Structure 1
Amino acid sequence: MQGEIMLTPELPSQERSDQLRALLSEIRNQIRNLPDVYQQPLAGSLDRLTGLLEVAGHTSGQPPAIRRSASLDVPTEPAYLFARDLPVPVMRQMEIVLDNLDSAIFVFDKSGTIRRANARARAMLGTELVGMSTEKFYSQFQVYTAGEQPLDLTNCPVGRASRGETVSREAIRVYIPGGRAYSILASAIPIEVNNQFTGVVSVWSDVTELERLTGQIEAERDQLKTILESISDEVWYADQDWNIRLMNEQAARGLGIENPEAINQGPVEALLDELEIFNPDGSPRPHEETPLLHSLRGETNRGQEIVRNKRTGQTMVREYTSAPVRSRGRVVGAVAVIRDITRQKRQEQDLRESELRERARAAELYALMNAVPAVIFVTHDPQARLVTGNRMAHELMRVGEGHNF
C-alpha cells in the first residue's frame, strides 16, 4: 500500500537516520541527471528532509502531523524541533520522494538482504523485493556487464560496495524472467555508522530507451555520412559558434587535407586562413564576407568565387550555395554546398577564344576574296543549299553584301 513504512527493526533510531543520510546523498547525486523541471522541487524536498534528520535525535514534545506530500512544509515551533520520534514521519516522506524517482533504489543491509526498494525498482523487476537476499536476487535476475560478461556476487556493484568501494554509473545489462532486458547505469555506495559497515545503497538508472535512440541516431549518422561521401560537391556545416562540425571527403580534398576529422570541430576562420578568396571580378573578398558566415546570421547566398589554396598553390573557380539551419525558428548552424566549376569555366573560355579566332579567320578570308578581281562563289555543302560570294558576286547578283544566295 502506498505510504506504508517498513523500518529495519534491528537498527536503532540513530542508525536509521545515518542510513537515510547516505541514501539522501546518493539521491541528490542522481537527481542532477533529471530534467530541470524535476530537479528544483526534488532538491528542495531533499534539503528539508536533511534538516529533519539533523533534529531527529533531540527530545521534548511531540511532532505535529505531517501531510503525505512530495512538497514538505517544515514547522519551526520549538516543540517540533526537539521531537523524539521523527524517524517515522521522515521515513514516510522519504518513501514518497523515492517512489517519485525514475531510478530504481535498493537498500541492502549488511547481510545482503534487501530492506527497501522503491516503486520503480518493483515495477522494473516485476516482483516484491524486500526481504530478498543478494544470492536469490542474482539467481533470479541475470546481470551482465555491458560487454555481456556474467557478473557474480563478488564483482557486481553491490558486492564491491559491501567491501567499501564506491561504484558510480557503471553500465550493466539485466535480463528479467520472461525475456525483457534493461540497459542500466548502476551506482552503489557503502553505508557506515560510527565506522561500522551497515549496508549498501544501490541506484539503477534505466537507459534502455536512451541506448535504443542513441543506436538509432548513430545508424542515421552513418547513413548521412554515406550519402555525403557519395556527393561530388563539397559539403560544409558550421554551428552557431562558427565551428566546423561536418565536412565530407570532397571538401577535404578541395583543401588538400587527407583526413577530414583533423579539421572538423575547428573554427571557420582556421580554414579561411588556408585560402586566398576573390570575387568573380578578381577583387579580394574579406573573410567576414564568407557566405557560410552570412548564413549563420540568417541569410541565403548563391554565387561564384575564385579561390587559391595557399597550401597547394591551386586556383579554382567555385559555385556556392549557403543557407541557415533552423531549429524551432532559431538559427543553430549553416550549411554550404560548393561545386568546383574550374573545368567548366576553362571550357567556356576556350569556346569564347575559339569563336574569336574563327571570326578573325573569316574576316581575313573575306578580305582576300574581295581582293581578287573576279566573281567568286563558295558553297558550304554538297547540295549548294548555302552559297556565299565576294563583293563582285554580290554586285553581279544584285544582292546586298553579307547575304547568302
Structure 2
Amino acid sequence: MKLIDRYIDELLESTPETPLWNQEMIRQGKKPHWNYIDGCMMTAFLTLYKKKGDIKFLNFVKEYIDYFIAEDGSILTYEREAWNLDNINEGRALFALYDHSGNEKYRKALDVLYDQLINQPRTAGGNFWHKAIYPDQIWLDGLYMAQPFYLEYEKRFNGKRNYRDILSQYKNVYETLRDRETGLYFHACDTSRKMFWCDRKTGLSRHFWLRAIGWFYMSLVDVLELLDKEDYEFQKEISEMFKELTDSLLKYQDESGMWFQIADLGSRKPNYLETSGSSIIAFALLKAVRLNILPRSYYSHGERAFKGICREYLYEKEGKMNLGGTCLVAGLGGKERRDGSFEYYMSEPVVENEAKGIAPFILAYLNL
C-alpha cells in the first residue's frame, strides 16, 4: 500500500498544462481544456481528502479547477453547444469547492453546466444525446458523465424536481441496452437506427465493452449514495439494477480477479485483462458493500479484483510507479469510422498511467 501512496504523491506533480495522467491530451498534443478525464482525477483527489483529511489534496483540486473557472462562473474552453455529456463530469468537483470556500464563482459554474443539461437534445425516449456529433445516440459512458451531477444539483438547488427524469433515463437504458441473456449492457444505441455500427432492428452496438459497462455501473452506486431515505422508489429501482448487474458481472470475473476488455469473450484472442474497467468495477463493488447496498459477502470479489490489478499491472520502473493495462479510448462512429467490432476494440492503444485507470484504482484502494 505504501507503493500506492507514493504513486499518488507522484501524480500531485501534475498541472493543468502538464497533466501526467491525460494520455489522450499528451498524445494528441492538445492544449489544456475542460474534460472528463481530469474530472475523474479530481473525484479521486477529493475522495483522498475526505478519507485522509490531508489538505494538500483539496488544495490541489482547487488550484487545478481554478485554472478553468473565472469569477463570473464561465469555464475556460467549455462549449455549451457541443452538447457533450463528457463535459459535465469535471463539474462534480465544483460542489465540494463551493462547500469548502463559499465562493460564488463555483455556484455560477455549476449553473452553467446545469443549463446545458436542461437544454440537452434528447432521444425520442427522453434520454440525453451523448454529444451533438452523436445525435439520437445513448452511450453508457454518458450516464456516469452526467447523471450523478444532475442528481446532486437537483438535490441541492432545485428541490429534486427532475428526479423522475433521471430515473426515467436509467429505466430506458435498462430496457434498451441490457442484454437479457448475459445481463450485461451494450456499449451504445442509435435510436434512429441510422449509424453504420448499429443493428438495424435494435439500434444496438455489437459488444459489451468493459469500461462502458463500468461507467454505467459506477454511476448507479454514485447515485445511490446521493439519494435520501425518502427517495424510496428511486432508491429501490436503482438498487435492483445495480445488484442485478453485479451478479451478471461476477459471472465473467477472471481467475486473476480482473475482467476482459470485451467482457464476455475472455477466451478469444487477443482479448486482454483491462485495468480501467476492472478498477471501476472493483471500486463500485467495494463502495456498495461499505454503503450496505451489497452484503459483506461481496467484498471478497472487489478485493480480489484490486489485488489482481496490482499483480498484473502495477510496477516500479526507474524509480517511478506505473499502472499499465488501460485501453486509451474506445468509441463508435466519428471520423475514425469506429465500427464497434471485436477487432476495433482490440486495435485501440493500451497505455500506462492513464487517468481512466488511475482514478478508479485510487478509489478502489480507498474503499478497501
Bin the TM-score by the shorter chain. Answer: under 0.3
Report which of the two has the higher share of helix: 2
TM-score with structure 1 setting the length: 0.23
